[in-house]
Structure 1
Amino acid sequence: MSPEKRARLGHSLSRRRELLSSLLGAPATDIVIAHNQAGRPFLPDFPDVSVSFSDSGAANALALVRSRHVGVDVETIRPIGWHAMLPMLSSEDEAREVRNAVEGAGGLAAFFCCWAAKEAILKAAGTGLKGGAPRLRLPQAFISGQQDRFSLEHDGLSLRVERFQIGDLVLSRATSV
């Protein structure tokens, strides 16, 4: 890892502890962030709290809920070989809808919105992208940008998924209901 990347990671971890400190009312030095075998973060001293983190470039996201599951993903819209990534993200039918959205009015934001939503869902389920993004089916109205929220069932969880876009940042949050 480059010294620059290591410094960014250290700063990000420090900011996460500061935010968690203010949200949980505990000193930042006492906030312990651990990870289970699947890599999902958790707070051993706050067993009723579900937490999720994401970063993309200089952007960081943190989601925290009590007594429910949560997943968050933030993505910077940027030039990327998205065509090659579609089979890792979507089924053939859904990939066709994503291509139509990207090539239409949605531009690259459509691809990143789908990516962020699926990653948030899979983080809430505790698997991350290893959980099989292509087996998730997003609503066509979400893919095309006509709606920013939807609900779905995944791996025994009822989830509410929301998308937020500010400039070149896309953020999705999935919360169990």
Structure 2
Amino acid sequence: MKVKGGSLAAGPDWAISDRRGIQRVFDPADAVEKSRASKLRRGEDVADFLHARWLMRHLIQQRRPQMETPVLQSYDDARPELPRAPDVALSWSKSGPVAAAALSGGGIVGIDIERVIARDTGAVLTMTASGTEAAAVASAGNETAQLAAFYRLWTAKEAVLKCRGEGLRGGAKSVEIPLAFIHGRADTITIHDRGVSLALSVIDAGPDAVCTLAFSAQK
């Protein structure tokens, strides 16, 4: 997979990319990116960091070709911004060499992508999930099905927290994900989070990753 993308009905534009399929070097776009990249020790981590931000700019320039090289501003305690286009909502995510980005002309948006890696999910669920959600993962079926349910739950929570502009510091347990979504019976569902109606949609990221997009026309 190189770069693939699309648009949701009445929703954001999105793109997913695996840098291993792209024959190019990802360079910092500005001094801030260069400084942040310099703090990463492993070359692969630098490439992953720059690739995700490149994908976000790539999507912006596809949808808004009149815009010069976009300057991305991201924060620990607020939603990322596009200073030259404050009306645009944007979000990006990375998990190793895979990345996802989303762009909306209004409202709020959050996206999260995770590579599917076999792991003991119990400790993570204890910290991030309600008892009902943890039970839903445990009852999903065999080990493969449980892992799929775990990543659907995890990416959905991350996407919602990004819509809030909080990230994980906002408390993953404060986000409630319906069982139908966790079990894969529904790939698109609406939830209500702190008075805001959010649509959750699973984006096809291939067999080795799970990606969830959350968005709303409300701010």
What TM-score, normalized to structure 2?
A: 0.73
Question: Residues 163 and 68 of structure 1: is their aligned pair in 2 closer, same or farther, counting only changes over 3 Å?
Answer: same
Aligned to 1:141: 180
Q: 1:12 aligns with which of 49, 52, 70?
A: 52
Q: Does 1:43 align with 2:106?
A: no
Is the CA contact (8 Å cut-off) linking 2:192 and 2:198 kept in structure 1?
A: yes
Aligned to 1:156: 195
Partners in 2 of 1:131 and 1:63 — Cα distance?
A: 21
Partners in 2 of 1:91 and 1:4 — Cα distance?
A: 34
Q: 1:65 aligns with which of 95, 104, 107?
A: 104
Partners in 2 of 1:67 and 1:112 — Cα distance?
A: 28
CA deviations 1:63-108 (Å, max 9, x no partner) are 0001110000011111123111002221122211122126467231
Q: How large is the RMSD of aligned CA atoms in angstroms?
A: 1.9
Partners in 1 of 2:54 and 2:214 — Cα distance?
A: 24
Structure with bigger helix share is 1
AA in 2 matched with 1:18: H
Is the CA contact (8 Å cut-off) linking 2:158 and 2:172 kept in structure 1?
A: yes
Q: Does 1:116 align with 2:160?
A: no
SS, match of residue 86 in structure 2? coil
Displacement after TM superposition at 1:37 (Å):
5.4
Partners in 2 of 1:12 and 1:26 — Cα distance?
A: 22
Query: Where in structure 2 are there 5+ consecutive unaligned residues?
Result: 1-39
Partners in 1 of 2:144 and 2:119 — Cα distance?
A: 18
Task: Figure out how many residues of one structure are paired with residues of the other and give that number.
Answer: 176
Question: Residues 150 and 65 of structure 1: is their aligned pair in 2 closer, same or farther, counting only changes over 3 Å?
Answer: same
What TM-score, normalized to structure 1?
A: 0.89
Q: Does 1:171 align with 2:207?
A: no
CA deviations 1:106-151 (Å, max 9, x no partner) are 2311100110011111111111121121122211111111111111
Question: Residues 11 and 121 of structure 1: is their aligned pair in 2 closer, same or farther, counting only changes over 3 Å?
Answer: closer
Partners in 2 of 1:152 and 1:86 — Cα distance?
A: 20
Query: Where in structure 1 are there 5+ consecutive unaligned residues?
Result: none
Partners in 2 of 1:88 and 1:44 — Cα distance?
A: 35
Is the CA contact (8 Å cut-off) linking 2:55 and 2:100 kept in structure 1?
A: no
Is the CA contact (8 Å cut-off) linking 2:109 and 2:163 kept in structure 1?
A: yes
Q: Does 1:83 align with 2:122?
A: yes
Partners in 1 of 2:124 and 2:169 — Cα distance?
A: 14
Displacement after TM superposition at 1:40 (Å):
2.4
Partners in 1 of 2:139 and 2:187 — Cα distance?
A: 18
Q: Does 1:21 align with 2:58?
A: no
Displacement after TM superposition at 1:161 (Å):
0.5
